[in-house]
Amino acid sequence: MPAITLPDGSQRQFDHAVSIADIAQDIGPGLAKAALAGRVDGRLVDTAHVVDADARVAIVTGKDEEGLEIIRHSTAHLLAQAVQQLFPQAQVTIGPVIENGFYYDFAFERAFTPEDLEAIEAQMRKLAGADLPVRREVMQRDEAIEYFNGIGEHYKAEIIADIPADQQISLYRQGDWVDLCRGPHVPSTGFLKAFKLTSVAGAYWRGNSSNEMLQRIYGTAWPDRKALKKYLVRLEEAERRDHRRIGKDLDLFSLQEDAGGGLVFWHPKGARIRRVMEDFWRDQHVAAGYELLYTPHIALQTLWDTSGHTDFYREGMYEPMVEDERLYQLKPMNCPFHVLIYKNALRSHRDLPMRWAELGTVYRHEMSGALHGLMRVRGFTQDDAHIFCREEQIADEIVAILDLTLDTLAAFGFDDFAIELSTRPEKAVGSDEIWDKATAALRAALQAKEIDFAVDEGGGAFYGPKIDVKIRDAIGRQWQCSTVQLDFNLPERFDMEYVAEDGARHRPIMIHRALLGSLERFFGILIEHYEGRFPAWLAPVQAVILNITDRQDKYALEIEETLKNQGFRVETDLRNEKIGFKIRQHTLQRVPYLLVVGDREAESNTVAVRTRSGEDLGSLSTDEFAQRLRTEVAGRGLATLED
Ligand SMILES: [Zn+2]
Ligand SMILES: [Zn+2]
């Protein structure tokens, strides 16, 4: 009879077969009430699962990562049950768990409205309140196909048809409602206490745009109401910062459906910010010993055959275009272009390291459903660079790259990083010796800089180890931006060489690296990080001059000219509106400084300075203000007068 070993090593003997629920009860009534599922010798099972032989058993509750997944997954079923009770014509398809929640796709004749979502959520609460037991049943595959076709669920039948014929299919029944599922599930619907439906969107069946459009309902679920509330507050915060909304309110950029999805249009104010970002980036690179390159947007497909991209990166590339019976490829990467420039001359060991940077615009195929504002697009500009160096130069180059990376990110207001080193995967090109040396160099560089980092063993690309840098934004979200990637593959494929001291030919090491990642995505992150309140060095308008009456028109324009002549981005608002109205409007536009001029200021040659956060800095002469702004701009993201 079963001896059950618990995670703490203790054992319990039973003289009969026992369910997970029995074992939880035997440990204590509190655990019995909290038990959502069990883990038997590593395998997740329902609480009703019966153990009849010796096993290691853990009780899964809402405190465990798996428990949280079970809650979310079970809530997706609850959603589907509620939808089908309210809308019997809706067919169910799939309902997976995602970060922070779940979704469920339904085949339905129209989009669900916000009122529908409310009604569905109310129905879900009713079903949860009824505390319906959730029971597992098993069918043969063909029997299950027949069953689901019989109840008009053709999508489910199609999913099951993809499962091998000899496999048993598990179904879950709650009340009179049944869904196909591998499980496990909560023991009864009463365990689902803290959930909320968040949004609805269209999605293609099986993610394929030639298939029919389904209605996807998103929701979130948590073990208790407190955790749900905390998440909803965070969500609200993220929504308030949504770069798509702020981008529109501040007239920074747009995505034009007339031009196709995932293509970014930078409006004048967004373009001003981009120019500042680019100028800063170029200056930083030149100071760090880089040369700047420009390369074309298309090239013969044969180049991509040589690099291997048509082979291992095919799905990320657009179809080639034909010119003079030859195929040209829109570039998904800049790397091979930099290699061609390298190969344009015979290189000597004295030429190395060569550091070449380019703001290179690339085009990558993304499914339309995956596109998201500036965060996921089809055309974007990488802040790319390639370093060609000798083996013994790797360590110094990595240290220099890390310096440049952290300095640059700090200037944009990010100083909280999570860094990860990824090492050799099972399948890899290059000798063990070079992998060991290179990985040791990356590790040494991180240690030399006294940076905490995690190691993802085996997580490197097949062509080399890498370092990834994630930044944490103002509300604690992490974004992967910078990456430093060693490459033992391209130099081989392109037969790159340099002449060493002894006259022999050697292969250079190639390092790919990006600091910001993509300018478009980084801009999106910046907008959300600052909530559109860009520091003065980035702000598209650094100060706006507001007259109180038309008597100060001339004076206001003089100040504008003075400040513009010093390189500041300044505007004047001479509209015949109340000063309070003008202040409110430019505050909403997040202009860092509002310079109010009335008769008193015009007579005394001053401006009354207010910040967008409402602080009154008093009267300053134009020179005094310019001096303060200049100091602030020079300090970039690290210094602000204002906050
Ligand atoms: Zn399920
Ligand atoms: Zn590259």
pLDDT score at 322 = 94
pLDDT score at 642 = 43
pLDDT score at 51 = 93
pLDDT surpasses 60 at 641 = no
Beta-strand runs (E) in 457-508: 466-472, 478-487, 498-499, 505-506
Tokens of 9: 């090593």
Worst-scoring range by mean pLDDT, 264-278, 431-445, 496-510? 431-445
The single residue of 39, 72, 355, 466 carrying the catalytic annotation is 466
Work out the average pLDDT over 566-585: 96
DSSP line for 249-304: HTT-EEE-GGG-TT-EEE-HHHHHHHHHHHHHHHHHHHHTTPEE----SEEEHHHH
CA of 145 to the centre of ligand 1 (A): 17
The single residue of 215, 301, 382, 542 carrying the catalytic annotation is 382
Q: Has 89 been annotated as catalytic?
A: no
- Of the ligands numbered here, which is closest to the C-alpha atom of 338? 2
CA of 176 to the centre of ligand 1 (A): 15
pLDDT score at 167 = 85
Q: Has 25 been annotated as catalytic?
A: no
pLDDT score at 637 = 65
Report the distance separating Cα 121 and Cα 81, nearest Å.
Answer: 11
The single residue of 49, 329, 331, 335 carrying the catalytic annotation is 335
pLDDT score at 515 = 96
CA of 185 to the centre of ligand 1 (A): 6
Report the distance separating Cα 337 and Cα 354, nearest Å.
Answer: 15
Work out the average pLDDT over 282-287: 96
The pTM assigned to this predicted structure is: 0.80
Give the pLDDT confidence of 208-231 residue by residue, as tens digits.
888 999 999 999 999 999 999 999
Work out the average pLDDT over 137-153: 91
The three-class DSSP label of residue 248 is helix
CA dihedral 616, 621, 623, 624 (to 10 degrees): -40
The single residue of 46, 383, 384, 468 carrying the catalytic annotation is 384
Above pLDDT 90, what percent of the chain?
84
Give the pLDDT confidence of 453-486 residue by residue, as tens digits.
999 999 888 889 999 999 999 888 899 999 999 9
Q: Has 386 been annotated as catalytic?
A: yes
- Of the ligands numbered here, which is closest to the C-alpha atom of 172? 1
Q: Name residue 214's beta-bridge partners.
A: 203
The single residue of 512, 513, 529, 582 carrying the catalytic annotation is 512
Measured at the CA of 122, the angle between CA 118 and CA 124, to 5 degrees, comes to: 115
pLDDT surpasses 50 at 240 = yes
pLDDT surpasses 50 at 585 = yes
Give the pLDDT confidence of 130-143 residue by residue, as tens digits.
999 999 999 999 99
CA of 333 to the centre of ligand 2 (A): 7
Q: Name residue 173's beta-bridge partners.
A: 135, 178
Q: What is the mean pLDDT of the chain?
A: 93
Q: Has 364 been annotated as catalytic?
A: yes
Give the pLDDT confidence of 175-213 residue by residue, as tens digits.
999 998 888 999 999 999 999 999 999 999 988 888 999
Give the pLDDT confidence of 594-623 residue by residue, as tens digits.
999 999 999 999 999 999 999 999 999 999
Tokens of 336: 């091979």
CA of 23 to the centre of ligand 1 (A): 23
DSSP line for 391-433: GGGHHHHHHHHHHHHHHHHHHTT---EEEEEE---SS--S-HH
Q: Has 331 been annotated as catalytic?
A: no
pLDDT score at 638 = 60
Ion ligand 1 residues within 5 Å by Cβ: 181
CA of 457 to the centre of ligand 2 (A): 22
pLDDT score at 369 = 80
Work out the average pLDDT over 505-533: 96
Q: Has 382 been annotated as catalytic?
A: yes
- Rounded to the nearest angstrom, the gap between the alpha carbon of residue 45 and the centroid of all alpha carbons in its chain is 32
Q: Which residue has the tokens 């829109």?
A: 330
Work out the average pLDDT over 147-157: 91
Report the distance separating Cα 301 and Cα 482, nearest Å.
Answer: 28
Above pLDDT 70, what percent of the chain?
99
pLDDT score at 476 = 85
Q: Has 338 been annotated as catalytic?
A: no
Nearest to 430 by CA among 352, 510, 498, 353: 510
Buried b (16+ CB within 10 A) or exposed e, 98-108: eebbbbbbbbb
pLDDT surpasses 60 at 639 = no
Buried b (16+ CB within 10 A) or exposed e, 526-535: bbbbbbbbbb
Tokens of 87: 């809308």
